[in-house]
């Protein structure tokens, strides 16, 4: 039985190592949570600025097109003046030309206002892009580092679990399943020492009969209180004179 106990103690240590690595692995992504949040914030700000800029660019093109079309109308109207024969038609055409010019003058003022917004938006977009590029660089560097660490975790865990399989192969399969269940339920302590008539896992006293059976070491026994597997550990000898 002592050999089985040694295997169980070794397996507990192996499983504890694997659990520690798994816990560390799960914590790693949390290390970049703040950086990811900042990246998302900067990206959203950039996309909003880009959308605003594109809309102003569209409005600018539309306004410039309207102005150009009206200028063409004016030039064509001026060209027609030469072929008009009556004063009535001539003055009507002049009135139309003047009206088109006034309309274009209003459009040009609108375009100037639009250009001012366009330039501000372009500057804002450039700033948001610079801010996004800065945090993107840091985020990518951090993710490359984390990918490397995650890969290292996976390799180490795989080695540990391979060792666990080797140790488990020396034990009865039913005992291994029972051990794993206790390990999960008892926070990584499935096998524990019994010392001075006490379970060192739950610190409850055990009966003299059970304690004596543990000393004989002829079968796997568990604590009646916490259900952990027990093994006998001799009490520490007191120093002379104590």
What are the residue ranges spanned by the domains of the chain?
Answer: 26-168, 172-232
Q: What is the pLDDT of residue 17?
A: 93
Q: What is the pLDDT of residue 11?
A: 94
Q: What is the pLDDT of residue 238?
A: 47
pLDDT tens by residue, 5-49: 999 999 999 999 999 999 988 888 887 888 889 999 999 999 999
Q: Tell me if the domain spanning 26-168 has CATH number 1.10.287.1490.
A: yes
CB count in 10 Å sphere of residue 39: 18
Average pLDDT over residues 185-207: 94
The end-to-end CA distance of the chain, in Å, is 35
Instruction: Check whether 221 has a pLDDT greater than 90.
Output: yes
Average pLDDT over residues 61-65: 86
Pairwise pLDDT comparison (136 vs 66), residue with the higher score: 136
- 85 burial via Cβ count (<10 Å: 0-12, 13-18, 19+): exposed
Instruction: Check whether 241 has a pLDDT greater than 70.
Output: no
Token code pair at residue 38: 């900042």
d(Cα 107, Cα 112) in Å, to the nearest integer? 9
- Best mean pLDDT range from 109-113, 195-199, 217-221: 195-199
pLDDT tens by residue, 77-117: 777 777 777 778 777 877 887 887 888 788 888 888 889 99
SS percent in the chain: helix, strand, coil, step 5: 75, 5, 20
Q: What is the pLDDT of residue 99?
A: 82
CA atoms within 13 A on the CB side of 206: 30
Q: What is the pLDDT of residue 198?
A: 94
Instruction: Check whether 175 has a pLDDT greater than 90.
Output: yes
Instruction: Check whether 225 has a pLDDT greater than 90.
Output: yes
Read off the pLDDT band of 242 (50, 70, 90): very low
d(Cα 119, Cα 237) in Å, to the nearest integer? 86
Read off the pLDDT band of 240 (50, 70, 90): very low
């Amino acid at each position: 039985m002592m050999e089985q106990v040694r295997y169980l103690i070794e397996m507990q240590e192996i499983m504890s190592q694997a659990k520690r690595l798994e816990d560390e692995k799960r914590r790693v992504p949390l290390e970049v949570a703040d950086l990811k949040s900042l990246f998302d914030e900067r990206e959203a700000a950039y996309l909003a600025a880009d959308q605003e800029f594109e809309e102003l660019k569209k409005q600018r093109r539309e306004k410039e097109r309207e102005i150009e079309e009206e200028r063409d109308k004016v030039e064509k109207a001026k060209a027609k003046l030469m072929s008009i024969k009556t004063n009535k038609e001539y003055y009507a055409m002049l009135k139309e030309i003047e009206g088109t010019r006034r309309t274009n003058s209003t459009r040009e003022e609108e375009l100037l206002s639009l250009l001012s917004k366009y330039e501000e938006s372009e500057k804002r977009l450039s700033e948001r892009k610079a801010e996004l590029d800065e945090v993107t660089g840091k985020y990518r560097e951090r993710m490359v580092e984390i990918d490397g660490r995650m890969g290292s975790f996976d390799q180490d865990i795989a080695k540990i679990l391979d060792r666990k399989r080797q140790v488990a192969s020396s034990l009865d399969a039913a005992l291994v399943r029972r051990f794993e269940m206790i390990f999960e339920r008892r926070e990584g302590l499935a096998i524990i020492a019994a010392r001075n008539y006490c379970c060192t896992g739950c610190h409850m006293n055990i009966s003299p009969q059970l304690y004596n059976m543990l000393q004989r070491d002829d079968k796997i026994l568990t604590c009646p209180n916490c259900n952990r597997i027990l093994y006998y550990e001799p009490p520490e000898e007191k120093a002379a004179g104590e």
